[in-house]
Chains A and B, each alone.
Chain A
Amino acid sequence: DAGVIQSPRHEVTEMGQEVTLRCKPISGHDYLFWYRQTMMRGLELLIYFNNNVPIDDSGMPEDRFSAKMPNASFSTLKIQPSEPRDSAVYFCASSPSGSRVEQFFGPGTRLTVL
């Protein structure tokens, strides 16, 4: 398996533009997580899905952020409109079912909003 796949790896955009980050989880994993990492706030959970259904989106910072998982092999995180403070590394992770299992992280998307 190729592991968790994220695209793009780097994104530079201007304030006000729409940004879409993409994730393909490991095949067979029932859970998908979106995290944001910054120096100031560390690793924050934004939202996670179980069997394509959003379970907890309490970490989504504002209405400008939205996430979807239309099928078991694809998820998107959208920011619209983007702001400079959204600059961060966004990680997608997936895991199989079970409450004590490893989360496998993707390589991350480094987002810079100018």
Chain B
Amino acid sequence: GENVEQHPSTLSVQEGDSAVIKCTYSDSASNYFPWYKQELGKRPQLIIDIRSNVGEKKDQRIAVTLNKTAKHFSLHITETQPEDSAVYFCAENGIKAAGNKLTFGGGTRVLVKP
């Protein structure tokens, strides 16, 4: 069935360093991989997504890479800042599911230390 493994579960980095979060999935037909950021006490919000026809996408300090052969995708945050501290969730759409259903990973709590 659908399954998304996300690692690590917690990540502590020094301000200015990079942070990398990795997710693996099982549905080979998945073709959409979004990342959501959830600040403390707030709702999850989309920060970047990638579709299966590209291998990498960048938006300022964040980037996502996709390896469909290995069935994994990663979020990269460069030059981390305190406001990057949040929980990050990866997700995939899993074509076996009808409609717009997303399966989310377990989340990574990122702490950026000043």
- A residues apposed to B, CB below 8 Å: 31, 33, 42-43, 45, 48, 50, 55-56, 91, 95, 97-103, 105-108
Contacts and interface: CB of A to CB of B under 8 A. Distances in A.
B31 A50 contact: no
B79 to A, nearest CB: 25
B89 A99 contact: no
Residue from A33, A55, A99 with most neighbouring chain B CB atoms (10 Å)? A99
Given A101-B100, A105-B45, A108-B43, 17 more contacts: A33-B101, A42-B104, A42-B105, A42-B106, A43-B89, A43-B107, A55-B99, A55-B101, A56-B98, A56-B101, A91-B43, A91-B44, A99-B93, A102-B34, A103-B46, A103-B100, A105-B44
Interface residues of B, number: 24
A102 to B, nearest CB: 5
Interface of B: 31-32, 34, 42-46, 49, 51, 89, 93, 95, 97-107
B32 A102 contact: no
Nearest to B106: A42
A43 B103 CA distance: 9
A18 B59 CA distance: 45
What secondary structure prevails in chain A residues at the interface with B? strand
Contact of A55 (B44, B98, B107): B98
A48 B89 contact: no
A102 B107 contact: no
A99 B51 CA distance: 11
Contact of B100 (A98, A105, A106, A108): A98
Nearest to A50: B99
A100 B104 contact: no
